[in-house]
Amino acid sequence: MNSQLLVGGRKVEDTPQFRTALEQQQKIIREQYEKKLSDLEKERQILEEDKAQVDKCKLLLIKQRDIMIALTGRLNERDETIIQLQEELDAYDRIHRETEEALEVKTEQVSKLEAILKEKNIQIKPLNHMSTKANEVKKKLF
């Protein structure tokens, strides 16, 4: 009864003021809904773009990892080759040193033998072609 007295005996829902207020509220709610929907759509697009960017970065990192693995393998192969070559060089150096030492011993022996032959007045034929070959061998070694 109270409500009927306030609006002149009619239902509140039937008054033009109520309908206008209801339409305004519905319009406001619809605008808020559309704005929130638009914001959510923008956020979804941003998330999709971010995800696409992350996927690109992930692919790039995978590519870089594969390249690094390949480079590491090649470096390991080179290291092994360098170690082998170093060992070979060390072996050649050792052989060279041993050959030089043997040559020095032989040269010393020849010098002593020549001195003994001179003391005994035994003539020896000079072997220039041998010393030339020895010099050639010596040059090749150095």
Render pLDDT for 86-108 as a digit per residue (tens, 0 to 9): 999 999 999 999 999 999 999 99
Residue 107 structural domain: 2-141
Note the pLDDT of residue 1: 43
> How many domains are contained in the chain?
1
Lowest-confidence pick of 48-57, 60-69, 75-84, 121-130: 121-130
Whether residue 70 contacts residue 78, with contact meaning beta carbons closer than 8 Å, is answered with no
For the chain, how many residues are written? 142
Q: Provide the whole-model pTM.
A: 0.49
pLDDT the model gives residue 4: 45
| Mean per-residue pLDDT over the chain, rounded | 87
Convert 40-50 to b/e letters by CB count within 10 Å (16 or more is b).
eeeeeeeeeee
Say which residue the tokens 């072997």 belong to: 127
